[in-house]
Amino acid sequence: MLILRLLDLPMTQSDERWHMRCLQIRGEEIASDWNMKTKLIIIGLIATASISQATLIDLTPGGFSENKPPQVFYDLILHHSQIAGANINGNTVNWSPFEPLGPNEFSITPLGTDAIISWDLALTDGYIFTYLLLEGTNSQANIYQVPGPQIINGTAYVTIDNVSTIQAIIFYGTNLVPETVDTGWLLFFAVIGLVLTYKFQPRSTIFTVTKVRREQTYLP
């Protein structure tokens, strides 16, 4: 307010120099505040990115070709179950309808060669997220492992090799809810039921047991 009042008064040459110096000091203070706020924002973004990148463990740094995959790839698809997955087309995320979980538990923000993913499995009755498979252009892929503290919820910044565009993201995990019914007793009663059924059926009836094999569908 003092500077504004001085503008209404006749100013000598020394007053004018003093006024200009005040404006210069005020400008320097504003610039300093702006630079400090900008620096704090940049530092916060860098810290956030660093924390996100540190969330998952990159098991195949730099990615690999699915035409000649490492052993960890076979271990993943043969011994772990898909719990969610999606194909990426530009900025569009197409979730697989064949998995138990989906967009209610996971989110994907496509960024071309990178992606930001987040997950919250707290309301899924025992599901945990353990591994992540990224598939991209030119058959390039990458595998991440989820450390213990983040198997229920977390956020991560992921990439294949910083070059290949991500085309599919597949989440692997399992359900840790224990069985509430003793399977041994179920088997016992099933056998008893079969015996009684056979005993009271006419001898001309042929009893046939058909085993149904359930195939697991994987995303391309």
pLDDT at 24: 64
Using the predicted structure, report yes or no on whether residue 203 has a pLDDT greater than 50.
no
Residue 205 lies in a domain: no
Using the predicted structure, report yes or no on whether residue 135 has a pLDDT greater than 50.
yes
Same domain? For 47 and 143 the reply is: no
Residue 216 lies in a domain: no
- Give Cα 144 distance to the centre of its chain: 10
The 10s digit of each residue's pLDDT in 22-81 is: 556 565 655 555 555 544 444 454 444 444 444 899 999 999 999 999 999 999 999 999
Q: Where are the beta strands (DSSP E) in the chain?
A: 57-58, 64-65, 81-89, 92-95, 106-111, 114-120, 127-136, 140-145, 153-159, 166-175
Same domain? For 77 and 110 the reply is: yes
What range defines the domain where residue 31 resides? 2-55
How many independent structural domains does the chain possess?
A: 2
Residue 98 lies in a domain: yes
Nearest to 209 by CA among 192, 193, 194: 194
- Domain end call among 55, 72, 93: 55
Q: Is residue 15 within 8 Å of 6, Cβ to Cβ?
A: yes
Same domain? For 167 and 68 the reply is: yes
Same domain? For 82 and 104 the reply is: yes
Q: Give the contacts of 124 (CB within 8 A, at least 6 positions apart).
A: 101, 105, 175
pLDDT at 143: 98
Using the predicted structure, report yes or no on whether residue 126 has a pLDDT greater than 70.
yes
Nearest to 124 by CA among 201, 46, 199, 177: 177
Residue 65 lies in a domain: yes
Residue 219 lies in a domain: no
Residue 9 lies in a domain: yes
Same domain? For 45 and 87 the reply is: no
174 forms bridges with which residues in the sheet?
128
First to last CA, the chain: 68
- Domain end call among 175, 193, 214: 175
Same domain? For 69 and 147 the reply is: yes
Same domain? For 46 and 145 the reply is: no
Residue 186 lies in a domain: no
Same domain? For 97 and 23 the reply is: no
CA angle 120, 161, 157 (to 5 degrees): 25
Q: Which DSSP state fits 59?
A: S
Radius of gyration of the chain from its Cα atoms, rounded to whole angstroms: 31
Same domain? For 113 and 41 the reply is: no
**d(C-alpha 158, C-alpha 113), whole Å:** 9
